[in-house]
Amino acid sequence: MTKGLFEPGSYSVRAAGHNGSLPMEVTLTDDRIKSIEIDTSGESKGITSPVFERIPKAIIEGQTLNVDTVSGATVTSKGILAGVADAIEAAGGDPEEFRNRPKYQADQADSPDEKSADVVVLGSGGAGLSAAIGAIDKGAKVILLEKFPSLGGNTTRTGGQINSADPEWQKGFDAFPGEVNNLKGIYQMDEANIPEAYRPQFRELKDELEKYFADMEKGENYLFDSENLFCIQTLLGGTRKDLDGHVTYGNYDLVSNLTHKGRQTIEWMKTKGVEFDEEHVTEPVGASWRRAREPIPTGGYGFIDPLQKYFTQQGGEIITDCQAKELLVEDGKIVGVKAQYSNGNDLTVHAKSGVVMATGGYSANYEMVKKYDNYWGNLPETIPTTNSPALTGDGIAMGLSVNAALVDMGFAQLMPSADPITGNIFSGIDCPPSDFVFVNLEGKRFVNEYGTRDQLCQAIFDQGGLIYNISDKNIAATRFNSTDEQLENDIKNDACFRADTLEELAEQINIDPEVLVDTIEKYNQYVEDGHDPEFNKGSFNYKVEVPPFYATPRSPATHHTMGGLKINVNAQVINEAGEAIDGLFAAGEVAGGIHAGNRLGGNALIDIFTYGRIAGENAASNR
């Protein structure tokens, strides 16, 4: 009797994933790989979903480990291949023989080389899907191109916290200690330091604040907000000076339009199937104010899934694995794009009305970040990114080819609370800033944790680039967009540390226990007093006092490129002569001028959905 290739059975192995290793069950007959089951409960939904379908399917159909990785999810692709190899070896087989087998080639139907639509949208993140829906709701035929195999772009990697000023809703929540002091700081600002275009709104805001302060003195306690506060905070959050001494701030028309349409955007998204948690108001890192809500389910998937379903139900066409390469121009008008499928075949898509650029920024392109950087000055080559590998600046390059103007390209925002290795912002305890307790490698606080993202990043760089966020059971319950399974996975992979006492936690992260305990005791007193005399932290929520205690390693990572194609309030791309380029629109991170030198946490999402919709509607009307 001939011996088979394997000892038949099911073998438990693990595969590397975006959030750590994942359990796999590989079932083998005596000569075949029969099935591959992957437990994805520890993964962020939507980020690597195509991998879990494509790679196992290719392995089983081809009976080979010579399989191409999925673009944008290389680590997870290789992890699945390595896990199956481990199972083969455990079953007495030879993984190398399977690696040397002929490469798997999927059966491919003939791909059309030419298509036509009214509007062509490039990119399937929140901006792209909003643009596609905005156009299709106007009666346009819409084709959306996505260069990666899965939809969602960078939006699937967000925590999901989206800003909008909604005073009636926010009034249902109590103010945190310290928040009124933040408002008084804005109220007391010298109007001379406010750009002239913003001054009328600043004066209106001061009137609103006077009423709020009077209410607080009468014993009323509620969370204040207004569109004027949102506008002024967005202005202040984006005002920055580059290394040459040039000061930039957000274009008034763009910022005012965004902050006054935020609530309208939320209501519009609800009509497209997005559900929101209205029971909680929160703030992501560097948000400056509690005005964010989250989708249900949490994270970017909560936006992408319903919007994609709505678009396709309305007859929209999505083509994945197809990258736009060149804009087509006739008589000064953008009339389509040349693209290329992942198999190398070309596709030309004609656009009767316009093309919407929603290709994202370039945080995943270190060379491009370094080329334009005029703010940080010396970013390390090893700096990770929170972004999808798709964000390489394709749209910027295509825009430049048709003489589009650029704005604020010298600024790149870093995320201070990212995993030092992977750039993952959801690892460990990714809590709201009001609950941050940052300590350096000596176990001491070193910054106002409520600061802006660039302030926090520079402070972390000053500490050597690595710090820990200390938290407890109560704070862990507030964490963004991560499951208990993910947390356990992070602890297993040293992306988070847990102990029953602060002393034990300090020992795990090589910090003097006495120093850490003293730091936390002082911090807890500041929370109780509602005042931080060391760093003047502006808002507190929980003390760090209920075991178990956690320490999450954190370092800066490239997160959002502030500059991009210059646009107007109609999302039309502007050329070097200051004129709108006929047929070309842009929304999302590929566009500049709104956030200027730095972006408030939670503003990216309201930006992409607001201006995405505007871009799509105007492209459809550009007959």
Give phi and psi for 522, each to the nearest 5.
-65, -45
Residue 473's contacts (CB-CB under 8 Å, 6 or more residues apart) are 546, 547, 548
To the nearest 5 percent, what fractions of the chain are helix, strand and coil? 35, 20, 40
Give phi and psi for 598, each to the nearest 5.
-165, 150
Angle between helices 74-90 and 49-62 (to 10 degrees): 40
**Within a 10 A sphere around the Cβ of 294, how many other Cβ atoms?**
22
Catalytic residue among 54, 157, 453, 554: 453
State yes or no: cis peptide before 56, omega within 30 of 0. Answer: no
Q: What is the rounded CA–CA span in Å between residue 224 and residue 183? A: 9
Residue 332's contacts (CB-CB under 8 Å, 6 or more residues apart) are 582
Three-state DSSP at 570 gives coil
Residue 521's contacts (CB-CB under 8 Å, 6 or more residues apart) are none
Structure tokens at 462: 């000053």
Among 611, 606, 603, smallest CA distance to 286 is for 603
Measured between its terminal Cα atoms, the distance across the chain in Å is 74
Structure tokens at 489: 């996975």
For tokens 């607080």, name the residue: 216
Structure tokens at 453: 């993202």
Q: Count Cβ atoms within 10 A of the Cβ of residue 479 and give its class: 0-12 exposed, 13-18 middle, 19 or more buried.
A: buried
Task: Give the Cα-Cα-Cα angle 119, 123, 124 (nearest 5 degrees).
Answer: 100
Angle between helices 252-271 and 227-238 (to 10 degrees): 120
- Its sign, for the CA torsion 217, 222, 223, 226, is negative
CA-to-CA separations, 258 to 112, 150, 228, 291, 587, in angstroms, rounded: 39, 28, 11, 14, 12
Is 453 a known active-site residue? yes
* β-pair partners for 12: 25
For tokens 């000064």, name the residue: 332
The residues assigned a catalytic role are 453
